[in-house]
Amino acid sequence: QVQLVQSGAEVKKPGASVKVSCKASGYTFTSYYMHWVRQAPGQGLEWMGIINTSTGYTSYAQKFQGRVTMTSDTSTSTVYMELSSLRSEDTAVYYCARDHGYSYGPLDYWGQGTLVTVSS
Partner 1 sequence: QSVLTQPPSVSGAPGQRVTISCTGSSSNIGAGYDVHWYHQLPGTAPKLLMYGNNNRPSGVPDRFSGSKSGTSASLAITGLQAEDEADYYCQSYDSSLSGSGVVFGGGTKLTVL
**Would you tell me which residues interact with partner 1 (CB under 8 A)?**
35, 37, 44-47, 49-50, 59, 61-62, 95, 97, 100, 104-108, 110-113
Q: Whose CA is closest to 79, among 38, 12, 19, 37?
A: 19
Q: 62 or 120: whose CB is closer to partner 1?
A: 62
Q: Amino acid identity of 52?
A: N
Shortest Å, Cβ 102 to partner 1: 10
Shortest Å, Cβ 60 to partner 1: 8
Q: 24 or 113: whose CB is closer to partner 1?
A: 113
Q: 13 or 100: whose CB is closer to partner 1?
A: 100
Shortest Å, Cβ 97 to partner 1: 8
**DSSP 8-state assignment for residue 98:** E
Shortest Å, Cβ 10 to partner 1: 17
DSSP string, 59-77: EE-GGGTTTEEEEEETTTT
Q: 47 or 80: whose CB is closer to partner 1?
A: 47
Strand arrangement of the beta sheet that strand 68-73 belongs to? 3-6, 18-25, 78-83, 68-73
For residues 35 and 108, the answer to whether their CB atoms sit within 8 Å is no
